[in-house]
């Protein structure tokens, strides 16, 4: 099925083409340069696909889809391996929510460890002191795979693994209670593979750079070091990434179960939360077939959008989010954006905006409104509606959600 010419193509000598779905949204020059560096790698297949939430990232550009032949770039997959979203629709409606939502937010914050406080000699409250039985059971399923990873990389043993399963983290990770156009209540959350995924990512980024040390001078950026099929660490990395992605999915499922349980303690009306559920990664790599060839697809801040496939595109704190259905556009390697995308760094946001700005920007949302979350202010992100318009050829909107409760780490 033909798709409209809704993207631009950047062609440069010695580089794969770069196809950008960025009509009507800003693209910073540093991100454009980073994309060009990636496109110059000899392992790129066909072209890079760039989503409208594109912005500068560590290693490679966030909001890019990187197809590679016989190789993977560990820094492109990144250190929050398997980071993604989960959303479920409930049988509750807006009328079933309490008038004051602070109690619901507090209950969620008690049920799911979040944030990070590494005070010397004290437990980090963003991890479990004593994990509940549900977390222990999930870890038991993940543990055999973890033991295999530790055999090859002993440094992974002393990571936050079991203690981080079913926890939120920091930064742009969040838990939200949302309403759709029909005022039905949805639960939505965003997190990944936590401390252990970070350690796996860092370990194999270092190994890729060590393996390519003699070639690093020829790379546009040392973070574009890649592992090739048949190389010493390639199979170990593929297995480690697969395990971290499983951890991330289980992490979201556990948090969702704890969120639902916490809500049941606040809202006594019986409800179910399985009307429609989506659980999708947006930082990951997997083998897929495109244009008749099996390749590795790294989605660095991008969501799979095969024809009919449901995905989640969250807006910023206080902005709309979307449940979407993929159109299976082959030119984007069947992908779409993973969110709105930042327009400024966290440091710049903290310098430019105040707590009063944050209060105004999140009016009507029960959430933290203090100096520590100014870097997540909606104005630090692109306009989510402009982002959605730019990718109309990639996805169709199924539900538009608005936040009423937001928990940040």
Output the CA–CA distances (angstroms, integers) from residue 65 to 15, 49, 53, 87, 395, in the order listed: 15, 5, 12, 23, 16
Q: Which of 47, 114, 162, 338 is catalytic?
A: 338
- CA proximity to 83, closest of 241, 224, 209: 241
Could you give the CA distance from residue 196 to residue 204 in angstroms, rounded to a whole number?
13
Say if CB 150 and CB 156 are below 8 A apart. Answer: yes
Other residues' Cβ atoms within 10 Å of the Cβ of residue 253: 17
Could you give the CA distance from residue 278 to residue 288 in angstroms, rounded to a whole number?
20
Could you give the CA distance from residue 342 to residue 110 in angstroms, rounded to a whole number?
29
Query: Residue 356: enclosing H or E segment and its boundaries?
Result: helix 355-361
Task: Tell me the β-bridge partners of 87.
Answer: 188, 278
Listing DSSP states for 269-323 in one string gives S-----SEEEEEESEEEEEEEETTEEEEEEEESEEE--TT-EEEE---TTS-EEE
Is the torsion defined by CA of 73, 243, 249, 380 positive or negative?
negative
Say if CB 165 and CB 254 are below 8 A apart. Answer: yes
Assess whether 338 carries a catalytic annotation. yes
Output the CA–CA distances (angstroms, integers) from residue 349 to 6, 79, 177, 301, 342, in the order listed: 31, 23, 25, 20, 10
For the annotated catalytic residues, the residue numbers are 338
């Amino acid at each position: 099925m033909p798709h409209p010419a809704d993207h631009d193509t950047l062609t440069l000598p010695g580089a794969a083409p770069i196809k950008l779905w960025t009509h009507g949204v800003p693209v910073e020059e540093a991100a454009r340069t980073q994309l060009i560096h990636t496109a110059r790698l000899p392992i790129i297949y066909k072209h890079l696909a760039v989503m409208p939430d594109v912005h500068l990232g560590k290693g490679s550009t966030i909001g890019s889809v990187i197809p590679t032949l016989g190789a993977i770039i560990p820094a492109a997959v990144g250190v929050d391996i398997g980071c993604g979203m989960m959303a479920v629709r409930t049988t509750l409606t807006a009328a079933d929510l309490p008038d004051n939502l602070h109690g619901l937010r507090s209950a969620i914050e008690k049920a799911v460890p979040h944030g990070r406080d590494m005070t010397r000699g004290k437990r980090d409250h963003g991890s479990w002191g004593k994990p509940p039985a549900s977390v222990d059971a999930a870890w038991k399923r993940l543990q055999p795979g973890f033991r295999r990873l530790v055999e090859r990389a002993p440094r992974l043993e002393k990571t936050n693994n079991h203690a981080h399963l079913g926890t939120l983290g920091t930064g742009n990770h969040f838990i939200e209670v949302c309403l759709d156009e029909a005022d039905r209540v949805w639960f939505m959350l965003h997190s990944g593979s936590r401390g252990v995924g970070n350690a796996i990512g860092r370990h194999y980024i270092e190994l890729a750079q060590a393996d390519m040390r003699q070639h690093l001078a020829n790379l546009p950026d040392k973070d574009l070091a890649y592992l090739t099929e048949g190389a010493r660490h390639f199979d170990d990395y593929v297995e480690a990434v697969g395990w971290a992605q499983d951890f991330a999915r289980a992490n979201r499922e556990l948090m969702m179960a704890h969120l639902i349980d916490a809500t049941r303690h606040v809202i006594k009306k019986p409800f179910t939360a399985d009307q429609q559920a989506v659980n999708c990664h947006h930082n990951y790599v997997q083998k897929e077939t495109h244009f008749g060839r099996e390749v590795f697809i790294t989605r660095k801040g991008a969501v799979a959008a095969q024809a009919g496939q449901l995905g989640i595109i969250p807006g910023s704190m206080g902005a709309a989010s979307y449940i979407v259905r993929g159109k299976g556009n082959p030119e984007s390697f069947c992908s779409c954006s993973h969110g709105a995308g930042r327009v400024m760094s966290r440091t710049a946001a903290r310098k430019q905006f105040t707590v009063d700005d944050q209060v105004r920007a999140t009016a009507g949302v029960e959430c933290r409104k203090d100096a520590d979350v100014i870097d997540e202010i909606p104005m630090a992100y692109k306009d989510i509606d402009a982002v959605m318009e730019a990718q109309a050829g990639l996805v169709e909107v199924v539900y538009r959600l608005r936040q009423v409760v937001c928990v940040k780490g």
